[in-house]
Amino acid sequence: MCDLGHPNLEAVFGYLVDVPAVRAVIEEATRLMSLPLSNEARVAALKPAFEALLAADGWLPEAFAVPDETSGMGGGIGQYALYRAVDGSLCLFSLVVPSGVMTPVHDHLAWGLVGIYRGRQDETVYRRLDDGRDPERAQLEVAVAQTLGRGECYALLPPDGDIHYVKTVSPTPSVSLHLLANDTACVWRHRYDPESGRVTPFRSGYSNAACPPDEASA
C-alpha cells in the first residue's frame, strides 16, 4: 500500500518509502542490472526513469527531507534510505545538506546516478593522480566543478568521477537523490583530505535504518 504521509521508519530493507514513483525507478534499475550491459550503458539507460523521479512532486515524506544532527556524515547532513535491496546490490536514498554546509570529500565505490530534488548544490569532483597502492594516501586534483539545480543529475562511474564533495548553495537545505549499486551508507568507503593527501575509512550510516553488524574497518 502507498502511504505518502507515513514513511516506514521501522523497515530495514525493501521499500522504506513505497510509492509508484520509487517503485518505477527501482524496477527499471533491477531490470537493467539483469542485462549484459556495461555500467556506462546501464546508467545511460536508467537516466530517463531517474529523471522522472526527480520531476515527480509530493512523494518524498518530510521526515526524509530534513537535516539530522546525529548523522555520521556530520554537519547536520541527513542520509535517509528510501529503498535497500536485501543483498546489498542496490539502494536509493535522499541526502539532505543544510544551507552552506559541505559534505566531506568522499567516494561511493559503486556506479549510479545522483540528482537534485530540492535546492541547489555546488559539486566538486576530483581526479586521482596516484596509483592507489597506498590505502592511506591519495593525490587528488579537481576535475570538474559545477552547480546543479532541481532536476539536474550526473553519473557516478568508478574509478573515475567517484570522488567528490557537494555544498548547498541555496538558502534552504538541498535534497539530492542517490541511486547506487551497493548499500552505500553501510559499506566501508573513504574520506579524503585533498590538501594533506590523507585517506581514512568511514561508514556514514543511514539516519533512518540500521546497517548490518560492522565486520571491517577498512
Could you read off the pLDDT of 130-143 as tens digits, one per residue?
998 999 999 999 99
C-alpha–C-alpha distance, residues 199 and 56, integer Å: 38
- Residue 8 pLDDT greater than 70, yes or no: no
Residue 153 lies in a domain: yes
Short-list 149, 157, 95, 156, CA closest to 122: 149
Rg for the chain (alpha carbons), in Å?
16
Residue 186 lies in a domain: yes
> What's the longest Cα–Cα distance across the chain?
50
Residue 2 lies in a domain: no
CATH number at residue 75: 2.60.120.10
C-alpha–C-alpha distance, residues 67 and 60, integer Å: 14
Q: Which of 113-117, 119-123, 131-135 has the lowest mean pLDDT?
A: 131-135
Residue 3 lies in a domain: no
Residue 44 lies in a domain: yes
Q: CA angle at residue 156 from 104 to 10, to 5 degrees?
A: 70
Burial 87-100 (b: 16+ CB within 10 A, else e): ebebbbbbbbbbbe
C-alpha cell of residue 215:
565486520
Q: Which of 7-11, 50-54, 166-170, 184-188 has the lowest mean pLDDT?
A: 7-11
Residue 152 lies in a domain: yes
- Residue 48 pLDDT greater than 90, yes or no: yes
What would the mean pLDDT of 199-218 be, rounded to a whole number? 80
Whole-number pLDDT of residue 169: 98
Full-model pTM: 0.90
C-alpha–C-alpha distance, residues 184 and 71, integer Å: 14
- Number of structural domains (the chain) is 1
Please give the helix or strand (H or E) that residue 22 lies within, else none: helix 20-33
Residue with more model confidence, 142 or 215: 142
Tallying the residues shown for the chain, one arrives at 218
Residue 208 lies in a domain: no
Tally helices (H) and strands (E) across the chain. Answer: 2, 12
Residue with more model confidence, 4 or 112: 112
What is residue 13's three-state secondary structure?
coil
C-alpha–C-alpha distance, residues 217 and 194, integer Å: 21
- Residue 192 pLDDT greater than 50, yes or no: yes
What would the mean pLDDT of 158-172 be, rounded to a whole number? 94
- Residue 161 pLDDT greater than 90, yes or no: no
Question: What is the full DSSP assignment across 123-160?
Answer: EEEEEE-S-S-STTB--EEEEEEEEE-TT-EEEEBTTB
pLDDT digits (tens, 9 = 90+) for 21-42: 999 999 999 999 999 999 999 9
Residue 70 lies in a domain: yes
Domain extent, residue 111, equals: 14-202
